[in-house]
Amino acid sequence: MTINESSQLAARDAVDERIDTDLFITVSGPPGCGATTLCNRLAAAIDCPYVSGGDIFRELAEENEISLNQQIAEADTSDSIDRALDNRLQQIAEKWGEADKPFILESRLAGWLAGPNADLRIWLDAPDEVRVERTNKREETQAEMRVREVSEAGRYQSYYDIALTDREFYDLQINTARWDKDGVYNLVRAAIESHNPATDEGVFKTPPVEL
């Protein structure tokens, strides 16, 4: 195969990779679930904006002129950080919901915060040991990860009466340990491309979140 033929094949594959959709998609899940990997690939294929709750959290730390670790510690003792983050994410969701253009919002509460603006809600997960292995560069043990998740779940329940175990309104729930990155992406891609508004009989209603 010549270099030119290889380039043509690469160009063809790039075109094949594109997804034609105007859906507002939310992606949620615990650390190490594969959300960032999926969202980056989807955003590139759809050619749409993608906002991560983690990025907004870091932006807030910069605005508050404190370190990320300081902000994490403050979030455990005060509701101000969580509420500021979630308010900003909800505003972003409202803005893009009105725009009627493709968009991806990723955070633990993205499916809740987007409310009726979301067209497709996805929950990703994997067994604890798998997620710990994926996040080993973050130097977090399985016990530390579980403590943080329990803390966050308790805060969401206390602040907003949100139970993270309530997932009935998600359109897709995927155990990302069962497929590789391509497999997870292809599952989601198939769901997006096969969605037909004319035959869509409706989504589960999302309880309103008062921030």
Cβ atoms within 10 A of the Cβ of 60, count? Answer: 18
Cβ atoms within 10 A of the Cβ of 75, count? Answer: 20
User: pTM for the full model?
Assistant: 0.87
Which tokens belong to 186? 């292809």
Mean of pLDDT values over 49-75: 91
Query: Residue 6 belongs to what H/E stretch?
Result: helix 3-17
The CATH class given to the 22-193 domain equals: alpha beta
Min mean pLDDT across 35-44, 108-117, 125-134, 188-197 is at 125-134
2 versus 191: which is more confidently predicted? 191
- The domains of the chain are located at 22-193
